[in-house]
Amino acid sequence: MSEPASISTGIAARYAAAVFDLARDGDAIAALEADVDSLDTAVRESADFRTLIASPVISREDQAKAIAALAAGMGLSALSANTLALMSQKRRLFVVPQLVAELRARIAVAKGEMTAEVTSAAPLSAEQAEKLAATLKARVGKDVKLKTAVDEGLIGGLVVKLGSTMIDTSVRAKLAALQNSMKEVG
């Protein structure tokens, strides 16, 4: 892991631990989960938001004003809004993506859930996603939330990452294995 990434992860982990503990003590984990979803959407979909949290050119005061307005507009809880305000004051907004990931992991553990990253060649239907989640739940004994992505390069099949386990049933992987076995023969 590169040094800047580990620094960001360490900062995010400390903020996440504090925020999660406060949410748990205040019986506000559901509100925190909604806030995390909103922040995740903002990070993924808004280039302006990513610029706001990452740019060293934007002054603390301007960042604080923008974050306060965004938090109100997004309907974030007081805990999340205050955390973002503190992070803005301390020039730590650049770790928001890592904070979101860390909070998601803590919330999942508290709810007894696991997240499976599923990459498929075509978008999964609701029925396929439900069947996959049920199959994975039977395998690990916990509720499984699916985080889906599409990669047409897989040709067909799925790649599922669940914890430290990876299941690759893609046609691309099968073709690669066939190609390797053919090399061994010739």
> For 71-77, which contacts have Cβ atoms below 8 Å and span 24 or more sequence positions?
74/35, 74/38, 74/39, 74/42, 75/38, 76/35, 76/38, 76/39, 77/28, 77/31, 77/32, 77/34, 77/35
Cα Rg of the chain (Å, integer): 20
pLDDT digits (tens, 9 = 90+) for 31-64: 999 999 999 999 999 999 999 999 999 999 999 9
Q: What is the pLDDT of residue 5?
A: 66
* SS3 per residue for 105-123: HHHHHHHCEEEEEEEECCC
Look up residue 47 and give its two tokens: 């280039």
Q: How confident is the model at residue 160 (pLDDT cuts 50, 70, 90)?
A: very high
Q: What is the pLDDT of residue 124?
A: 94
Q: pTM for this one?
A: 0.71
Residue 98: pLDDT above 70? Answer: yes
CB 171 within 8 A of CB 151: no
Q: How confident is the model at residue 3 (pLDDT cuts 50, 70, 90)?
A: low
Question: Is there a single domain that holds both residue 179 and residue 153?
Answer: yes
Supply the CATH number for residue 23's domain. Answer: 1.10.520.20
Render the burial of 14-44: b for 16+ CB within 10 Å, e for the rest: ebbeebbeebeeeebbebbbbbbebbbebbe
Question: Is there a single domain that holds both residue 9 and residue 85?
Answer: yes
Q: What is the pLDDT of residue 185?
A: 77
C-alpha dihedral over 127, 145, 43, 89, to 10 degrees?
A: 160
Question: Is there a single domain that holds both residue 34 and residue 61?
Answer: yes
Average of per-residue pLDDT across 68-77? 95
Q: What is the pLDDT of residue 7?
A: 84
Q: What is the pLDDT of residue 1?
A: 46
Domain assignment of residue 154, given as a range: 113-185
Question: Is there a single domain that holds both residue 20 and residue 96?
Answer: yes
Question: Is there a single domain that holds both residue 81 and residue 149?
Answer: no
Look up residue 116 and give its two tokens: 């499976």
